[in-house]
Structure 1
Amino acid sequence: MQTVLGVFFHLIGGVAAGSFYMPYKKVERWNWETYWLVGGLFSWLIIPPIMAWLTLPSFWELIWSMPPATLGYIILFGLLWGIGGLTYGLGIRYLGLSLGNTVILGFSAAFGALVPTIYYDFFPKEGKTTFNELISSTWGQVILLGILICLLGIAICGKAGMMKEKQLPQKEQSKTNNEFNLFKGLSIGLCSGILSSCFNFGIEAGQSLAESAVAAGMNPLFQNNATFVVLLWGGLTLNLIWCVSLNIRNKSFGDYSDLKKPLRKNYLLCALAGTTWFLQFFFYGMGESKLGNGATGWVLHMSCIILVGNIWGIVLKEWKETGSRAKITVGTGIFVILISVALLGYGNYLRSI
């Protein structure tokens, strides 16, 4: 039952992650940096402490009771994760949307899942899964198989996306491919994927904070919420600097207060987008409380984002003009990812019995 709940919470988180950008599409006459920063303030600064307060009433006391080094590591990983998010856009620029997503999310899934287990091989910690345990146990081998199949599913979805892009009208292809650069794209994609996985490393670094919450009698289901508050400070810092610099460069500070623009509507839409974005990690934390922070949760999170993103693409008829081969390919990719989710869940079930 714990495994089923864990997978279910990760699926809800994936729905939030795959859907958060939809409200941004309705924002009118604001520059990207304006609505990204307004939504980001809700994502990184406003909603996390509210959710922590609702679920862990004394979360501030828990945070300030942590050693400065622990808080420093959590913030550092948040900063690195923020860099990964910013370089994500460059990876998409040089590789295109489909191939870029495949490379970046694939690297993020693999590194975020496996690097912590390798780390614990060298620096053991009670209750933490090591890579040696994964390769030497039946449940671990099932999880590793699930990870490999997930990466295969991501690659198949990426192939379908490339097929779709090739079938775009020539005018649209030129817009998409005029900056294509495989070497730059793969290099930046590798960097972005590794750094994006630092969010999972930040959760691992904050395990003592989560454990303190449980020891204080708080609901274990929400044990990661205090960690998210600190971790997202790092992401906020980098994105704040970047967006304000773009406001200065593009002279777009007027967006925030120009009464000729639909301010109330835009602020509400950004608040909705930012809140939905944070819910991915709120439910991620709930899923991890059921599965245990480790290799499985991060891969589930990445695979659910890809699943939901592709499903949204189908719902919004983005594949309407593509041929049957591309549609069959994306359907195959989604099916393979679903198999990987089932395997990851089964591996955790084997571990629990």
Structure 2
Amino acid sequence: MSIISGIALMALGSAGASSFYVPQKKIKNWSWESFWAVQSIFAYLLIPFVGAWLIVPSGAFGQVMGYDTTALLKAMGYGMLWGVGGLTFGLSMRYLGVALGQSIALGTCAAFGTIIPPLLAGQDLFATSAGIFMVAGVSVCIAGIAMIGYAGSLKSKNMSEEDKRAAVKEFALKKGILVALLAGVMSACFNLGLNAGDGIRVNAIALGTPELFAKNVVILLVTLGGFVTNFGYCIFLNIKNKTGREYFSLSSSELVNNFLFSALAGLLWYCQFLFMGMGEVQLDPGTRAFAWSILMAFNVLFSNVWGIVLNEWKNSGKQTMVVLVIGLLLLVASTIVGSMK
């Protein structure tokens, strides 16, 4: 086992996940709900199914999935709750931009998703050095998120309304922060779902599934629950806003373009959990519970890199950028602290 290789794998997945919203800019003549519905088919249904089906030994897929019905339903149930987080997550970036929206949502998600599972299991986090470092790492992560949130506040004060709209068309700080906090809390249910279905992962390994990829089977169960919530809500919006005709009114080239970029967004999003599962196996058993926080911290880090590339922090002022960099450094530090034992 290698902590360095484990963290590197999670960073690789995070680099993809932090980029998943960028392909939306290439979508033509579709409303948000139309893009999100099609992206959900790829991200939460098709790609996770392929990722799970390919790694399970031939003929054993049904046996793996049917091992524990209670765990299966719990994982899917948490997935449906996480689906609410996924919906509001998209809204947080509409109101705050890729950088600030992901920073607040993912930071909240990191804290809740890391701390709640061991607490539900009755674990005393202060009984071992690994548990203490985990709490310390989450605390540093929260401090980093607070700094990034403060940078967002400074950005709002320093930028003109014209600059804000140029960077993020629907910029709304207060509404965006509330939505991002809700997204973070609900998104933490994804990790709760992974923990609820862990017995299915263990059984998959016993049936011959490589341990490196075994988490894929549980990821599929959680994303299935999330698909129900996300796809259902998007179809509801299609009907309410009368945007359902968008699926049929495009030219063949526009339709191919939109499906390709929706598929790309789904694949980039899925990479974070594929590589988290691979990276988690590389960590010491005592620090694996912190893998979720490591992934979220990297997601925030890379999303802010995209924010800089997309000029979301342009003309926000020197002080704002200094505060932003301090917040990002704290996030990096949190991955180091949380992995200690």
TM-score of the two chains, using structure 2 as the length reference? 0.89
Structure 1 residue aligned with 2:271:
279
Following the alignment from structure 1 to structure 2, what is the Cα–Cα distance between the partners of residues 230 and 22?
A: 26
Q: How does 1:1-353 map to 2 (within 5 A)?
A: 1-58=1-58, 60-88=61-89, 101-121=102-122, 130=123, 132=124, 134-171=125-162, 180=174, 186=178, 190-260=181-251, 262-291=254-283, 292=285, 294-345=288-339, 347=340, 350=341
Q: Aligned-pair distance for 1:239?
A: 0.9
Range with bigger deviation, 317-326 or 37-46: 317-326
Judging changes above 3 Å, is the alpha-carbon distance between structure 1 residues 93 and 229 closer, same or farther for their aligned structure 2 residues? closer
1:228-285 deviation line (CA, Å, top 9, x unaligned): 1111111010111111111112222222222447111111111111111111111122
Structure 2 residue aligned with 1:124:
none
Following the alignment from structure 1 to structure 2, what is the Cα–Cα distance between the partners of residues 190 and 159?
A: 14
Contact 2:48/2:270 (<8 A) preserved: yes
Judging changes above 3 Å, is the alpha-carbon distance between structure 1 residues 179 and 104 closer, same or farther for their aligned structure 2 residues? closer
Q: Aligned-pair distance for 1:299?
A: 0.7
Range with bigger deviation, 95-104 or 306-315: 95-104
Mark the runs of 5 or more structure 2 residues left unpaired by the alignment.
Answer: none
Following the alignment from structure 2 to structure 1, what is the Cα–Cα distance between the partners of residues 152 and 56?
A: 42
Following the alignment from structure 1 to structure 2, what is the Cα–Cα distance between the partners of residues 5 and 97?
A: 27
Following the alignment from structure 1 to structure 2, what is the Cα–Cα distance between the partners of residues 41 and 177?
A: 28
TM-score of the two chains, using structure 1 as the length reference? 0.86
Contact 2:99/2:300 (<8 A) preserved: no
Following the alignment from structure 2 to structure 1, what is the Cα–Cα distance between the partners of residues 304 and 99?
A: 10
Q: CA RMSD in A?
A: 2.6
Following the alignment from structure 1 to structure 2, what is the Cα–Cα distance between the partners of residues 318 and 90?
A: 16
1:162 maps to a residue whose letter is S
Q: Aligned-pair distance for 1:81?
A: 0.5
1:211 maps to a residue whose letter is V
Judging changes above 3 Å, is the alpha-carbon distance between structure 1 residues 79 and 318 closer, same or farther for their aligned structure 2 residues? same
Q: Aligned-pair distance for 1:190?
A: 4.9
Following the alignment from structure 1 to structure 2, what is the Cα–Cα distance between the partners of residues 17 and 202?
A: 19
1:182-229 deviation line (CA, Å, top 9, x unaligned): 9xx64x655433221110010001111110111122211101111111
Aligned-residue identity in percent: 36
Following the alignment from structure 1 to structure 2, what is the Cα–Cα distance between the partners of residues 173 and 319?
A: 9
In structure 2, the residue corresponding to 1:135 is in which secondary structure? coil
Range with bigger deviation, 138-147 or 234-243: 138-147
| Number of corresponding residues | 334
Mark the runs of 5 or more structure 1 residues left unpaired by the alignment.
Answer: 122-129
Following the alignment from structure 2 to structure 1, what is the Cα–Cα distance between the partners of residues 337 and 300?
A: 17
Q: Aligned-pair distance for 1:287?
A: 2.0
Following the alignment from structure 1 to structure 2, what is the Cα–Cα distance between the partners of residues 173 and 140?
A: 42
